[in-house]
Copies of this chain bind each other. A is one copy, B any other.
Amino acid sequence: MAPRKPSIPKGTRDFSPSEMARRNYIFDTIRSVFGLFGYRQIETPAMENLSTLMGKYGEEGDKLLFKILNSGDFLRSVDRNLVDAGDYVHLTSQLSEKGLRYDLTVPFARFVVQHRDELQLPFKRFQIQPVWRADRPQKGRYREFYQCDADVVGSNSLMNEVELLQLIDEVFRRLKIRVAIKLNNRKVLAGIAELIGAPDKLIDITVAIDKIDKIGLEKVNEELAERGLSQEAIAALRPILEINGSLQERLAKLETLLSGVEIGRLGVEELRTVVDGTLALGLDAELDLDVSLARGLNYYTGTIIEVKALDVQIGSITGGGRYDNLTGVFGLDGISGVGISFGADRIYDVLNTLELYPEDITVATKVLFINFGAAESAAALKCVKSLRQAGISAEVYPDAAKMKKQMAYADAQKIPYVAIIGETELAENVATLKNMASGEQTKVPFAQLAEHLL
């Protein structure tokens, strides 16, 4: 019996050459924009100590960490009572010391603290690496996926926010994806909670109003009541959620509404600085204010950023914000940071849906030499060598197979030119160069092949 066809773990993916070409197009675009903006690349290990990861993503996050079984006799230090009690939660820390990284932010915070003596602040870093989450796989959600993060630490200046918005705009301009960038500020949210007399209900309010686009204002109000907000508070919240008009008009209305609340006023001021700075430079993306935007509220302390694609129904494709105490959890206080994370896998889905890839990205080899046997292919190999020296990717079909098979190979790989060196051509030191798109054939002397193909 033949063995079962092998497979890969659910929620993970293989990437074929044509998929890789598309993915590299995204990564290369993001990477070069990061570079243009002065961000510098770092990498951290796939595995981190569980002491670094645990407790950073909430109780649910702890469960979603992939944990590495200790090497060797992992049973040695295990408390058998825990086994008998079936207490796998407490047993985990005895069986495993390491886990796979869950995002790039916590490893970055760990990196900053660990290497603080070598780092010059402000430190602008970018990082493009996979992360792993033991989430239930579903459409668009994977257990292994890439994040592309850029963060500045060690600077409180709101110019960093302006720069990051310019960076986002440049990435999506290059990728030709039309987007809306939504802004909010944690201090505005705190101000709203205070204004409506429910400062202790900040989390409840944000969790509820975050759903307003999906479920509408009335359902949000029902949820707020369930979460213990008084009818007075809910009524006071309504005018804020119903603010409308242009971006500048809404900022002005928000400013008026929050004028009596110190923290809220500060939040509006920050928003205005970021908005004005960004508009002064100009941007292709729509810029929008969204007071219902929260995104991992426990984390951000100032600006909150979210990017949505305008032409595809999909969740946010980029997000970020400011966190005043990124490294505090690792014992280094007072380092502020602001950053964004591009969701490469969702961007990949958007580009696939809209078919926005440039035409030539999947071309690897420019010219394939047909193999007619030992003497002819020896000459072909010499041509190929000099073409490569001219920077032209070229190959010889490795076997003297039937012409039809060799041409099918060129077709399947979308190779734009085929070169034929048969007996006649060999005698004349020429190759017959066939343009696969037009069908046009030209005899070209060996020495002029590079020139002809460039």
Contact = CB atoms under 8 A, between A and B. Distances in A.
A385 interface: yes
Interface string A364-395: 11001001000001100110010010011111
Given A35-B393, A381-B162, A399-B156, A88 B110 contact: no
Nearest to A40: B17
Interface residues on A, range: 35 or more
A25 interface: no
A119 to B, nearest CB: 9
Given A3-B330, A9-B98, A395-B124, A75 B67 contact: no
A126 to B, nearest CB: 9
Interface stretch (A253-261, A313-321, A406-414, A444-452): A406-414
Contact of A42 (B5, B14, B83): B14
Identical chains bound together, number? 2
A246 B378 CA distance: 24
A44 interface: yes
Contact of A46 (B86, B144, B281, B393): B144
A395 B398 CA distance: 50
B40 A399 contact: no
A7 interface: yes
Contact of A36 (B35, B110, B170, B394): B394
Given A114-B8, A365-B38, A14 B144 contact: no
Given A73-B88, A144-B46, A398-B159, A113 B5 contact: yes
Given A9-B47, A37-B393, A68-B68, A118 B331 contact: no
